């Protein structure tokens, strides 16, 4: 089990590195209006019609959502934000939780105790991230641009990690049942712990 645990730690550490790379990479475009007869100056990219876009990282997007959400919460107490905006605050919080949850659960499993309960919570986190990852930034066709490799790397990591975690959970369950079966009977047909009288 210790060898299997080390293997799991290695590939989970690799997942953490890939997640960091995905967060650093571009997820969305910060769009500006530039008439079609003019060229978009790098690093801006021509998207469609009169729009150019500057690729922005996932960290920029998530930090902006976090700051915006905190600003709305503060506005609820000062009266600047209407109560109807509370749903938007909750949605922003849910988005941040779903996107970041697999990173923190992977960190706990990699550098903490590898328990079955943590694995199940971790698997749920990856599943929620998978449900959320593909609708994210796909409402606008410009967000499907290959220049946004960060969000696409995140999606690939989510699907791959989810598959690996399912296999690990299934494999761990089978290994546990195999160990219980092997200790249930002793050699010679004797049940564990029972003694037979010596005929001599």
For the stretch 7-34, pLDDT in tens is 889 999 999 999 999 999 998 888 899 9
Q: Which is it for strands 45-48 and 26-33: parallel, antiparallel or unpaired?
A: unpaired
Q: Which long-range contacts (CB under 8 A, 24 or more apart) does 109-117 make?
A: 109/8, 109/12, 110/9, 110/12, 110/13, 110/16, 114/5, 114/8, 114/9, 116/169, 116/172
Percentage above 90 pLDDT, the chain: 25
**What is the pTM for the complete model shown?**
0.74
Among 134, 156, 122, 163, smallest CA distance to 19 is for 156
From CA 102, how far away is CA 123, in angstroms rounded? 8
Mean pLDDT of 71-97: 70
> Residue 58: is its pLDDT beyond 70?
yes
Q: Which residues contact 35 (CB under 8 A, 6 or more apart)?
A: 50
Q: What is the DSSP letter of 83?
A: G
For the stretch 163-193, pLDDT in tens is 999 988 887 666 555 555 555 544 444 444 4
pLDDT of residue 130: 85
> Residue 157: is its pLDDT beyond 60?
yes
Q: Which long-range contacts (CB under 8 A, 24 or more apart) does 7-15 make?
A: 8/109, 8/114, 8/168, 9/110, 9/114, 11/164, 12/106, 12/109, 12/110, 13/110, 15/106, 15/157, 15/161
CB 1 within 8 A of CB 107: no
Query: Residue 160's Cα: distance from chain center in Å?
Result: 10
Determine how many CB atoms are found less than 10 A away from the CB of residue 165. Answer: 25
């Amino acid at each position: 089990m210790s060898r299997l645990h080390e293997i799991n730690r290695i590939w989970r550490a690799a997942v953490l590195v890939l997640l960091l790379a995905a967060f650093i990479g571009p997820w969305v475009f910060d769009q500006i209006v530039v008439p079609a007869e003019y060229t978009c100056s790098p690093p801006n990219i021509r998207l469609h019609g009169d729009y150019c876009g500057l690729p922005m990282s996932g960290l920029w997007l998530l930090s902006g959502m976090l700051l915006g959400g905190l600003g709305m919460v503060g506005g609820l107490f000062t009266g600047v934000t209407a109560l109807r905006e509370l749903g938007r605050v909750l949605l922003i919080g849910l988005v941040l939780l779903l996107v970041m949850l697999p990173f923190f659960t992977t960190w706990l499993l990699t550098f903490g105790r590898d328990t079955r309960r943590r694995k199940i919570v971790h698997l749920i986190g990856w599943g929620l991230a998978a449900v959320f990852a593909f609708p994210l930034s796909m409402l606008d066709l410009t967000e499907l641009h290959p220049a946004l490799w960060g969000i696409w790397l995140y999606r690939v990591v989510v699907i791959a990690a989810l598959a690996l975690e399912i296999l690990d959970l299934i494999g761990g369950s089978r290994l546990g049942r195999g160990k219980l079966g092997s200790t249930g009977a002793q050699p010679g047909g004797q049940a564990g712990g029972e003694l037979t009288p010596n005929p001599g």
